[in-house]
Amino acid sequence: MIKEADEKELTFEKNYQPKGDMESEYDNEKKDLSRKAFIKELKDVIENSDVILEVLDCRDPLACRSKELESQILSHKDQKKIILILNKIDLVPQENAHKWQNYLKREFPTLLFRANTQTQGIHLASTALHNKSISDRKELVDDLMNTKKAVGAENLLQLLKNYCRIEDSKRNISVGIVGFPNVGKSSIINSLKRSRVASVSNIPGHTRTKQEVILDKNIKLIDCPGVVFSKNDPNSLMLKNVIRVEDLNDPISVVENIVKRIDMNTLVELYEIQQFNTVNEFLALVARKRGKLVKTGIPDFDKAARLVLKDWNDGKIKFYTNPPELIEDVDIEIK
C-alpha cells in the first residue's frame, strides 16, 4: 500500500498552478480535497490490482516513469507484478522504440504499444512487436505504422492471460493501469477491449475517477486518473502534456525550451517559415504564417506560442529521446 508519508511526493495535474497565480483560501481548500481524492483513487487501484501496467510515453519514457511508485508496488505484501507499456511508438523511429524496450526490459516485462480508440472488430493487429524476430522485418513494421490498427494489444493480452494461470487452473486477476496524464491509458483499455469503452481525450487530466472494464471472464481492467508522481517546474510539466495549454500564464518560456530541444530545420519545415535566431523570431514567423496577429498587424506571441504547444502535445513536432547506453558485460581472461 502507498504510505501516507508518500502523499507529499505525489502531485496531480488538476492541482498544479504555475507560479504567480493568486488563489483564494476557498480555492486552496478545494484543491486540497481534490488532491486527497486523487491519492485515494491511486491507492485503491494499487491495492485492488494483481498486475500494474505503468504506461510510458515512448518519446521520453524516463520523464514519465516513477521509481518511487514501482518500489511501493513491489514492496506490497501481495507480490504484485509490474509491466511497462511503451505507448505511442508511432511517434518515434522503430529503432528507437526497440532500444528503449531493450533498456527497460532488464527490470520489468516491457511491451511496445500503439493504441487505437476506434472499434476494431477482428482487425486488431496481433503481430508480436516485442519479439526479436520482427526487428528484422522492416517492411512489416513500416506497414503496421501506416495503419490505424492497434499494435501490441494481442501480446499484452497473452501476457495477462499467462498471469491468470496457476499450474493447471485459472484465476481472476485485476489489472491496474497507471501513468502520467495523456500517456494513453484509456486508449490502451479500448485497444484491449476492441471498442470505445473508456473515455479518451488529449486534454491532460481527462480521466477524473477510476474506471473498471471487464476484459473477459478472468481479467478486469482498472483505469486510474493520470497522476504526476513528483513535483516539477511548469516547463517540465508542460512538455509532458500534464498542464492544459489554456492554463499556462507564460507559454512563451515553454516554447523556448522546445526550440532548444528541436533541430531548427524540423521547425522550419513544419511551419514553412524562414530560419530564425531566437524564440521571439520563431514565434513572430509562426504568427504571421498562421494569421495570429493583433489589429495593428503585430504578431500575437501568446497565441502563436499556444499554437506551437498544442502541436507539441498532439505529436506534430517530432521529438524523442535515446536510452542511456547499456554497458555490456565483458569477460576478461586472466593470464
For the stretch 34-89, pLDDT in tens is: 556 667 788 888 899 999 999 999 999 998 898 888 998 998 888 899 999 999 99
Q: Distance between CA atoms of 288 and 303, rounded to whole angstroms?
A: 11
Q: Nearest-5° angle of CA 284, CA 244, CA 309?
A: 30
The 10s digit of each residue's pLDDT in 202-237 is 444 444 467 888 988 899 999 887 666 555 555 565
Asked if 127 and 264 sit in the same domain, the reply is no
The total domain count for the chain is 2
Q: What is the pLDDT of residue 6?
A: 44
At residue 203, the pLDDT reads 46
Same domain, 262 and 158: no
Q: Are residues 39 and 163 in the same domain?
A: yes
**pLDDT value for 72:** 87
DSSP at 28: H
Q: How far apart are CA 195 and CA 187, in angstroms?
A: 10
Instruction: Report yes or no on 243 lying in a domain.
Output: no
pLDDT for 283 equals 97
Average pLDDT over residues 272-295: 95
pLDDT of residue 69: 87
Question: Does residue 112 belong to any structural domain of this protein?
Answer: yes
Across the range 280-305, mean pLDDT stands at 94
Do 60 and 192 share a domain, yes or no?
yes
Mean pLDDT of 261-287: 95
Same domain, 197 and 258: no
In a domain, 233, yes or no: no
Tell me: do 36 and 157 sit in the same domain: yes
The answer on 257 and 124 residing in a single domain is: no
Cβ-contact 303, 286 below 8 angstroms: no
Identify the sign of the CA torsion 33, 35, 38, 42: negative
pLDDT score recorded for residue 314: 83
Structure confidence at residue 232 (pLDDT) = 53
Asked if the structure places residue 318 within a domain, the reply is no
Q: Check pLDDT > 50 for residue 19.
A: no
Domain containing residue 200: CATH number: 3.40.50.300
Question: Residue 331 pLDDT more than 50?
Answer: no
Same domain, 131 and 267: no
Distance CA 292, CA 255 (A): 16
85 Cβ contact partners less than 8 Å away, ≥ 6 residues apart: 53, 54, 55, 56, 110, 111, 113, 152, 156, 188
Q: What is the mean pLDDT of the chain?
A: 76
Range of the domain at 263: 250-313
Q: Give a yes or no: residue 49 inside a domain.
A: yes
